Structure 1
Amino acid sequence: MQESFEIKRRFGIEIELGEEVSKETVSNFFSEKSFHASKADIYRPSCNNDFWHIKDDATCGTMGRQGPKGVEVASYVAKSFFDLENICDLISELPTLGCKVNKNCGFHIHADCQDLTKSQVAVVTAFWIKIESCLKYSVPLSRRNNRYCAMLGPKLKIKTLQRFPDAELFYNFCCPKDIGFFENKERKVNFNLVNYARACHYGTSSKKTLELRWPESTLNKNDIKNWTILFLNFIENCKFKEIPDNFFDLNLNETLDILGLNSDFEEIKQLKIWLLKRFSKYTSAFKEEAVEILSLADK
């Protein structure tokens, strides 16, 4: 067996909670339990923070914008598998305070991509578009057609036979035109490029991230860990590929391959099993195929 899976880039996660517990109570919990400081705040972007950033969120209360505000938990910038385990362990304790999630709550992962060129980001984005029609069946219905995490391909009106001679042309095609922080519709997709585009525009490496916005919020540490590894591993697996010559959807086996889930790392094997179980849970479209692959993965 190979050595343990290694996280190769910085990342941060955001967990949205309902209104059951105040941001001050949540912040105090992290101040007491974590090696990192915690700050309760109004809603504002988190950027290169070395503390837990606990803030209001008007969209994730049980009644959405029509009711009380929820709470967003933004982790400190993490750098290792140890950090990920620590973040997962602490968030999994939040139910002891009375914290809950609801269908309005999302779970977002920011991956630091300051090492990637625009062409590499274009390639990663292109492969995301090819797998999202399959991967949507690994999330609940509340996230599939959600206006805060819309599928990227349909949003860009990508055609299956559309071709781009080189990756940089595709980057120019998919690059967000609005790079603002607030009330920006181009952020409200499952795979968000706005922060990366904003950093390029201003010539800075600060918050030069790609963001996964698709998963439902969760306080389950196994779900948090696996979604984070899945996203980071997907970026590593695709960053040196060539731009695909079409945008046809991929099947389940092909999607697993693009996600980089065929390695011998024990963490990746467990991630693959976890993801296949989600397919079996949330859809009948790939259920038979998922069960068959799962039976082989479990051996």
Structure 2
Amino acid sequence: MIEQILNQNTSKTAKMRALFELGLTRMEVANLVGVNYGFAHNVYVKMYGTTRDQRIRQNQANQSNPENEIWRRRYGIEIEAFGVTREQLVTKLREAGIEVQSEDYNHRTRTWWKIVRDGSIRGENSFELVSPPLKGEDGINQIKKVCEVLVQLNAQVNKSCGFHVHFDAANLTLQTWKNLTWNYYMLEEEIDKMMPPSRRGNSNNYCQSLRTRVENQNLQREIDECQTLMDLSRKMTDRSRYFKLNYESYWRHKTVEFRQHSGTVEFEKISNWIKILNRIINYSEGNRVAESNENALYALMSISLVNYIKMRRQKFGF
């Protein structure tokens, strides 16, 4: 894609505009087109405005529709915890109106919630609670009931627990996968700041960093050179599922899985993380972030999600 743009019989300004639309930074565009940074910056400002102008426009957009979530695909969650017997959990969830079954470990997608074992969880009476495919606010409301039961039963989490989210990826194009890869890579260090130390950087073998295998200066080119999703998975994760962004779930469930979040049974954390990821995927359908900073993350979020992210960052001293 980049080479095609550079080889077009168009002006340098037109080439820069096309490259900016791919999400490249001003320095990257300047180097590719062979112009000085000031020229590239001026073209960028004419397209997008200054950083301050961008924030003003985004705030205006957020204020006009602050809480509207656009749900374009189904999602599912996996809650890892311990301290509650399966029998207790089944009984209380059913009393709350949640259809649930206790099962042997399996990867089958159900139309009900299932409770299975997970050998990676440390703690007595450990379990993994897996949702069926959920949709929009109805799914969020169902999760709220589940979390209320988990809190009532005093379910516990520790560093061995994770909280995973799947989104339906059956209709994601390869370009969207590439954009999502770039966007999560660019935003990963900002997302790290709202996570405990055990889920930051490359500190956890079960959710490794996307920055492990590819250097930033080569990423755009290496992503765009991938011809298939398998190429992309091989490039970014060497076909391992134990990364913050897991491509491998596509071949088993036709989903994209996000594995970074720490274990939790708290509804606020769970619901907000789902919404944050939903917005990143929606944005990735046609866009790449231009910069790797907190404002690039905030620009994708509603006011309430920005406030939540800031609260989490402050909790961890950022």
TM range (shorter): 0.7 to 0.9
- Aligned position for 1:256: 298
- Aligned position for 1:81: 137
> Aligned in 2, Cα 1:222/1:175: closer, same or farther, shift over 3 Å?
same
- Aligned position for 1:169: 226
- Aligned position for 2:208: 150
- Aligned position for 2:81: 17
Contact map agreement 1:16 1:105 (CA 8 A) in 2? yes
Q: TM-score normalized by structure 1?
A: 0.76
Contact map agreement 1:107 1:216 (CA 8 A) in 2? yes
> Aligned in 2, Cα 1:152/1:166: closer, same or farther, shift over 3 Å?
closer
Name the SS of the counterpart of 2:275 in structure 1. Answer: helix
1:1-299 alignment to 2 at 5 Å? Answer: 1-2=64-65, 4-18=68-82, 20-34=83-97, 36-47=98-109, 49-62=110-123, 68=124, 70-144=126-200, 145-154=203-212, 157-162=213-218, 163-164=220-221, 167=224, 169=226, 171=229, 173-176=231-234, 186-196=240-250, 198=251, 207-241=253-287, 250-257=292-299, 260-261=300-301, 268-283=302-317, 287=318
Contact map agreement 2:80 2:129 (CA 8 A) in 1? yes
Contact map agreement 1:42 1:55 (CA 8 A) in 2? yes
1:195 alignment partner AA: S
Moved more, 111-120 or 160-169: 160-169
Moved more, 104-113 or 5-14: 5-14
Distance 1:217 1:96 in 2: 17
Detail structure 1 runs of 4+ shifted over 6 Å in the superposition. Answer: none
- Which structure has the greater CA radius of gyration? 2
Please list the CA deviations of residues 4-47 of structure 1 after superposition, one character each: whole Å capped at 9, or x if unmatched.
Answer: 323221000111012x112232122222222x421101221142
Contact map agreement 1:193 1:210 (CA 8 A) in 2? yes
1:41 alignment partner AA: E
1:276 alignment partner AA: K
1:254 alignment partner AA: A
Contact map agreement 1:23 1:56 (CA 8 A) in 2? no
1:167 alignment partner AA: D
Distance 1:15 1:129 in 2: 24
Structure 1: runs of 5 or more not aligned:
63-67, 200-206, 262-267, 288-299
Q: Give the root-mean-square deviation of aligned CA atoms.
A: 2.5
Distance 2:93 2:163 in 1: 18
Q: TM-score normalized by structure 2?
A: 0.72
> Aligned in 2, Cα 1:250/1:27: closer, same or farther, shift over 3 Å?
same
1:279 alignment partner AA: R
> Aligned in 2, Cα 1:37/1:86: closer, same or farther, shift over 3 Å?
closer
Q: How many residues align?
A: 249
Contact map agreement 1:118 1:168 (CA 8 A) in 2? no
Please list the CA deviations of residues 265-287 of structure 1 after superposition, one character each: whole Å capped at 9, or x if unmatched.
Answer: xxx2111100111111113xxx3
Name the SS of the counterpart of 1:39 in structure 2. Answer: strand
Please list the CA deviations of residues 55-84 of structure 1 after superposition, one character each: whole Å capped at 9, or x if unmatched.
Answer: 11111123xxxxx56100111210121221
Contact map agreement 1:12 1:77 (CA 8 A) in 2? yes
Name the SS of the counterpart of 1:93 in structure 2. Answer: helix
Contact map agreement 2:117 2:126 (CA 8 A) in 1? yes
Name the SS of the counterpart of 2:217 in structure 1. Answer: coil
Name the SS of the counterpart of 2:160 in structure 1. Answer: coil
Distance 1:121 1:240 in 2: 10
Is the helix fraction higher in 1 or 2? 2
Moved more, 185-194 or 227-236: 185-194
Structure 2: runs of 5 or more not aligned:
1-63
Distance 1:128 1:237 in 2: 11
Distance 2:178 2:125 in 1: 36
- Aligned position for 1:294: none
Q: CA deviation at 1:233?
A: 1.0
